[in-house]
Amino acid sequence: MEYKNIEFKIDGTTAQITMNRPEALNALNSQVFVELNSALDEIEKNNNLRALIITGSGKAFVAGADIAEMSEMNEEQAFEFAKTGHNTFNRVANLKIPVIAAINGFALGGGCEFAMACDIRIANTFAKFGQPEVNLGLIPGYCGTQRLSRIVGLSNALNLLLTADMIDANEAFRLGLVQKITEPEELLNEANKLASKIASKGKLAVEKAKEVTVKGINMSFDAASELEIKEFAKLFGKPESKEGMTAFLEKRKPNW
């Protein structure tokens, strides 16, 4: 499809989605979700991809959901809008390939929720984070209450959710919401370096490491441990693991 609100490109084994409504600080609306899902369709069909980078244009990663559109919604329409956001971000979270958020500015409300659906978050020094929904008499609608508490802990999440405070990249790093901080001009370079590093590893192993970790966090420890054992053993039947271990013993780089 023709993309008007996002930019989508593939460079080698890395896909990149750039949120591109700078005049609206890349706010999320219904058409944005249509375009995001179309890009995700393309990503899921491409077996050569090893990572996805998501970033924003202008001053924002995503500054939130489009309040102008939301203000006209009734309860049923709001339910569908939230469901669309949940489904879209769950698709991002459940992609086989790792997803890197390169957060270039404001990541507020739905933007913070979008970033939290990604696997790894890199932020530049200008980035700001927050869940300001209570300022509007609302709560997060795209799984923010659940992802935030799982990432930063219950009390830290409640502090952000109930005060609507906006935090900078350093505080986000301290809380574990962000894994690395860069200078603005280095943000995409660092994201691509990380994508390349991941691409140098065993493809199936990376996919399984993500799958088992993501599934396991919502399982009991014993059940998650059993899942790990099963998936660990299955890899021994794959050519990738044989090549990886042989390369190690022969002191050479694996030929994936």
The verdict on whether 69 is a catalytic residue reads: no
Res. 181 pLDDT band, cuts 50 70 90: very high
Pairing of strands 180-182, 120-124: parallel
Percent of the chain with pLDDT over 70: 100
What is the overall mean pLDDT for the chain?
Answer: 97
The CATH number of 203-249 is 1.10.12
Non-local (6+) Cβ contacts of 107 within 8 A are 60, 61, 62, 63, 101, 114, 115, 123, 127, 128, 129
Choose, from 113, 171, 185, 186, the residue flagged as catalytic: 113
From the CA atom positions of the chain, what is the Rg in Å? Answer: 19
Place of tokens 């080698």: 12
Q: Is the pLDDT of residue 1 over 90?
A: no
Place of tokens 């790792």: 98
The CATH number of 6-199 is 3.90.226.10
Q: Is the pLDDT of residue 234 over 90?
A: yes
Q: Enumerate the domain spans of the chain.
A: 6-199, 203-249
Residue 152 to residue 217: CA distance in whole angstroms: 14
Res. 117 pLDDT band, cuts 50 70 90: very high
pLDDT in tens, 33-44: 999 999 999 999
Closest by CA to 186, choosing from 194, 178, 176, 174, is 194
Percent of the chain with pLDDT over 90: 99
Q: Is the pLDDT of residue 235 over 90?
A: yes
Choose, from 7, 42, 133, 190, the residue flagged as catalytic: 133
The arithmetic mean of pLDDT across residues 208-227, rounded, is 96
pLDDT in tens, 144-158: 999 999 999 999 999
If phi over 0 gives left and psi between -120 and 50 gives alpha, with beta otherwise, what is residue 231? alpha
The arithmetic mean of pLDDT across residues 50-75, rounded, is 96
Torsion of CA 137, 65, 58, 34, to 10 degrees: 180
The verdict on whether 35 is a catalytic residue reads: no
